[in-house]
Structure 1
Amino acid sequence: MKKRVAVLGSTGSIGTQTLDVISKHPDKFEVEVLTANNSVDLLIEQCRKYQPNVVVIANKDKYQTLRDGLEDLPIKVYAGSEAIAQVVEMGTVDVVLTAMVGFAGLLPTINAIKAGKPIALANKETLVVAGDIITSIAAENKVPILPVDSEHSAIFQCLAGEFQNPIEKIYLTASGGPFRGKSKDFLAGVTPEQALNHPNWDMGNKITIDSATLMNKGLEVIEAKWLFGLEADQIDVIVHPQSIIHSIVQFTDSSMKAQMGLPDMRLPIQYALTYPERFEADFPRFNFLEYPNLTFEQPDMDSFKNLSIAYKALKQGGNMPCIINAANEIVVEAFLNNKVGFVQMSDVIEETMVKASFVQKPSFDDYMASDNEARMIALSIING
């Protein structure tokens, strides 16, 4: 039986690489649902190639273009975020890969879990915003959440056969981004074009900027807490510029396991879709002799404040991770549009943390309200 996959965010970096993985295993997978936010031309192209049963464009203004572009095909065409949250519940979907960017991925993921669909999770914001709710619903519905982020996939792979053994600590590795070792003075003049030039990974704009500010790693710290049931002091970040060791688990007997490989997101994507099996792949192979030196260093949390901000939010708990996530989405968009400087992004997030309403034990409605409030506060700070 082929596994029928819903790819949420199919036109983004993770989405397109997911479709590449699926195309290499046509006897194992078929595309059931494709969704995108705005990229209607690429979405039409993907539909023609992969022939999904259903396609959804979040931007309702693009609906007619999508429908016209697929009028000769028997594909059901819908529009709007509500439709995305509904199609994941379809009985013909076997697994949902969530590659939507940001807060928008939360509701579709919740609906998919409630419908009993295994989740291949590439949308880290889902667990950052509402990790307590997501993990609780997943446990109630006995639904696995399989991480797609390379670092969390690495931890998950290291834990295979070890799930009964307590973790002492995990180490999430970070490339350090394009500005590793740079001073605050240098960072003050960084442009969006410079920040989008990542040394190792090919990612979408938002995640690439988050990587440059180390917010991406901060969000991964929060995500790791929920995925693996850890406390903040059990999660360390180490800078590893070569991006060969993707993360490390240390057990209570002091033994450590690391998952290694060339930086290629298709590997963790494929592992999430095929787990617990490993399928053959034509990905490039790592050669130790080509990397005679693997180096490690501490992250500079003074120059790159976003990582310390994320740790602070994790320790405070409640809706604070939701607040920093919302503020971060606003400042990244503002930075890409040259409305705020690279260093000022952290300042806006910190100020939003102070001004936003804190809720110790938030409900789903609290999270929705916190997201909206934090966005409005961050925008008001940016606009003066």
Structure 2
Amino acid sequence: MKFGGTSVADIGRLEHVALKVRRQVEAGHQVAVVVSAMAGVTNQLVGYAKALGGVESLPEYDAVVSTGEQITTALLALALQQIGVPAQSFMGWQIPIKTDNCHGRATIQSIETQSLEVCWKEGIVPIVAGFQGVNSHHRITTLGRGGSDTTAVAIAAAVKADRCDIYTDVDGVYTADPRIVPFARKLDEISYAEMLELAAQGAKVLHPRSVGKAMMSDVPVQVLSSFEDKPGTMVTSSAQLVEVGISGVTHSTGWLKLTVGVGDKLSTNIKKVRSLLGKADIPHEMMVMNMIQGGHIDLFIPHGHLTWVLMVLEEHKIASESQISVISDLAKVTLVGRGLITENGYSQKLLQAMKNLDFSTYLATLTTQKFSIGVHEAQACELVRYLHYHFNLDQINDNSPKTMAAGL
């Protein structure tokens, strides 16, 4: 069981979480709990560290920002003890959760489960601090954004748990953000691959690293609400799902488009650009235009990486500043599903959807699992609603075996 920042935001919510944990214990389950810091606390700690010169590469930064989880871990243990459930708090280094030496965005390498197994044998619920671990130099490390989700999935994998329940402020994974699309539908199930794509393209329910870990370890993950007692969405192997369909539409803002003129060296420069962006771990989409007069590459990248990308393009003699144009304040809207290329009819319907738009688009990329469109940020929500309606995502039949997918 993992509870996020809004779920443990104050004493009242911690007491509510304790009751949820007790119900699972009373049902006969062996339970391990992972908690985040209280909502807003980590940001406050980051501010303190940065005010005194801390940056993510410094061990002291991690020592500061990891303390929020220490508070909620101990408080939840106290809350459980108050209602008759034996509980013990653990920091990441006490388990230990061993990571690499990359401060600020460490990767979990191994988890020793002996301390958890001893707790279960003695009837104690272990409460583990998420977001943190310890490296080979015995220094505290943090896992970066979504770190508590990743901690929970990694522990579930290490102890071979039946599933990992992620409790949050929503009651599952929807076909779109219900705040944008009021008729969005909650999915009963979704595959690891689709959830990973949705998370990578802007859906906030789960972090991509946690989904990737679940997929690699084949750990079923259930997303459900901390505040309502009803089933959530199960993220599981695609073997249980239908082969084709659209699961949802999401969007992210803060993108820009670079048009890079590369003359007659198109093929060589495409390889260079892909390699450079891949090594720097920069999210991107690419479109290529090959014309008689010479080709150009359209790059869709997050705005925070612009300076670095411009510098690298010039350093590697791919393009000078005069050969590059930039359009900013863009958003990326993405449909996620299965069989978007291979299934007859999907490609045509996607193209027809593009033709019907009455505003400019700056990106159109299609793979078997996603279709991304770039538009101005002000038009992103309108496009999300249009695609949701166009592909009938609000008309999924809950009693059908295709509950998780919308067909043509």
Is TM more than 0.5 here?
A: no
Higher helix share: 1
Higher strand share: 2
**TM-score (normalizing by structure 1):** 0.29
